[in-house]
Structure 1
Amino acid sequence: MTGAGSKNKQGQLADFLPYQLSITSNAVSSLIAQRYRSRFGLKITEWRVMAVLGDAGEATQRELTEATLMDKVAVNRACKVLEERGLLERQPNSADGRSHHLALTSEGRAMRGEIMPLALAMEEEIFAAFGDSEREAFRAMLKRVFDQAEKLGAAPRD
């Protein structure tokens, strides 16, 4: 079908799957950030660092950059803010004098403990229109997309 009224799939940004994935991610991240900022005074980057440290126990900034796929400047800034707020502490890394081990303080762990149930409730709210099998299928598809992007050479952010 051609003509002025037909929909041309080529060049239609709104139909481009990577664009849809990006704007959906941004919309969800913005919603989450609004809630964390209003209640806990956290930006999404700070929460991501806290979430990873809560799971890992401790990590270097390089490990945080790799785990979050955020650029190292954003990770550095988030770590400094969290440290200034007393939510994160750094210890010398005996294996590499140029880096530090970062870990949540007891106050940081307590805050993470408050946030996690809210994060899970927010996930439930966002995905309320999905059944359990749809959620699992969606998780599996996202993993496949991520794995394929890595396979094709998606570079880690430095």
Structure 2
Amino acid sequence: MKLDEFFPYRLAVLAEAVSRSMAQVYAERFDLSRDEWRVLAALAERSPMKTTALIEHTTMDKMRTSRAVNRMLQAGWIAREDDPDDGRGYLLSLLPAGLALYRKIVPMVQAREAYLFEGLSDDEKALLQRALDQVLERARQLARQG
């Protein structure tokens, strides 16, 4: 087996390259980590959100999520309140400053995303999305099987 032809390796290399190119926008210009960006984007999509749902949605572990949330709380981008349905849990909400930050970053990362797909037709982009969805579902099935 050649490592450069092994799908999981190629996918990891691709994910890292794309992630680094996106991080140039939010890390260098806005001093935001990748994890903080994920939290910001997730809460812009749905707020308020239970901490447990955020962890699941962002696929980050509790420690990474906690670090990102704490920094964002200190920055005044998000708010945390007790979850009335779970005495040990919290609800996280995006504050106006966080939403403003998100709105500044989105056009920049969307422009980079568009650049990545420039050489693909709409049909090829749709096919890629479907293929990724199928592979993701199969990977989840394998994880459940153990």
TM-score with structure 1 setting the length:
0.87
Please point out which of 50, 58, 61 is paired with 1:60: 50
The runs of 5 or more residues in structure 1 that have no matched partner are: 1-9
Counting only pairs closer than 5 Å after superposition, residues 77-156 of structure 1 correspond to structure 2 as 77-153=67-143
Counting only pairs closer than 5 Å after superposition, residues 8-19 of structure 1 correspond to structure 2 as 10=1, 12-19=2-9
**One-letter amino acid matched to 2:28:** S
Instruction: Tell me the alpha carbon deviations over residues 24-51 of structure 1, each in whole angstroms, 9 at most, x when there is no partner.
Output: 0011001111221111111111001110
Counting only pairs closer than 5 Å after superposition, residues 43-58 of structure 1 correspond to structure 2 as 43-58=33-48
Change in 2 beyond 3 A, CA 1:113/1:144: same
Q: Partners of 2:50 and 2:63 in 1: how far apart? A: 14
**Runs of 4+ off more than 3 Å:** none
Q: Partners of 1:125 and 1:82 in 2: how far apart? A: 29
Q: Partners of 2:112 and 2:123 in 1: how far apart? A: 19
Q: CA offset at residue 154 of structure 1?
A: 5.5
Contact 1:61 1:76 in 2 (8 A): no
Q: Does 1:30 align with 2:30?
A: no
Percent of aligned positions with the same letter in both sequences?
Answer: 33
**One-letter amino acid matched to 2:38:** R
Cα RMSD (Å) of the superposition? 1.3
The runs of 5 or more residues in structure 2 that have no matched partner are: none
TM-score with structure 2 setting the length:
0.94
Q: CA offset at residue 124 of structure 1?
A: 0.2
Higher helix share: 2
Bigger-Rg structure (1/2): 1
Q: Partners of 2:131 and 2:21 in 1: how far apart? A: 23
Contact 2:25 2:109 in 1 (8 A): no
